[in-house]
Amino acid sequence: MPSTSERKRPVRREERVSRTYRLPLSKLKAAQRALGAATATEAIERALDLAVFQRELVDGTRAMLGVDITSPDLEP
C-alpha cells in the first residue's frame, strides 16, 4: 500500500495578486461560516470557485437543451 506522501499529487501553484476590497464584515463572516472557510481569503476563493462552477452548470445545461435523456434502468 503506498504511503500518504506517495499518493499526493503535486500542487500546482497559480500566481497570486494582492488586492484590497472594502467588504461588509458581517457578509464576509457569514460567507466564512456558510462555506466552512477558516480565513477570509479562503472564503473569497471558495465563493469565486462556486461562481465559476455555477456558470459551467448553466452553460452545460444550455448545451443540452433538446437532448432526450432516458434512464438506463428503463427497458426499451
Domain annotation covers residue 33: yes
Q: By C-alpha distance, which of 22, 24, 44 is closest to 32?
A: 44
Flag whether 14 is in a domain.
no
Domain with 29, as residue range(s), is 23-64
Tell whether 8 is covered by a domain. no
Within a domain: 60: yes
User: Domain for residue 76, yes or no?
Assistant: no
Residue 52 domain flag = yes
Q: What's the number of domains the chain is made of?
A: 1
The per-residue pLDDT for range 5-42, each reduced to its tens digit, is 566 767 778 898 999 999 999 999 999 999 999 999 99
Say how far apart CA 42 and CA 35 lie, in whole Å: 9
Does residue 57 belong to any structural domain of this protein?
A: yes
**34 part of a folded domain:** yes
Task: Judge if pTM exceeds 0.85.
Answer: no
Q: Dihedral (C-alpha) 22, 16, 53, 7: value to the nearest 10 degrees?
A: -140
Q: Does residue 4 have a pLDDT over 70?
A: no
Nearest alpha carbon to residue 43 among 63, 21, 75 = 21
Neighbours of 35 (CB within 10 A): 16
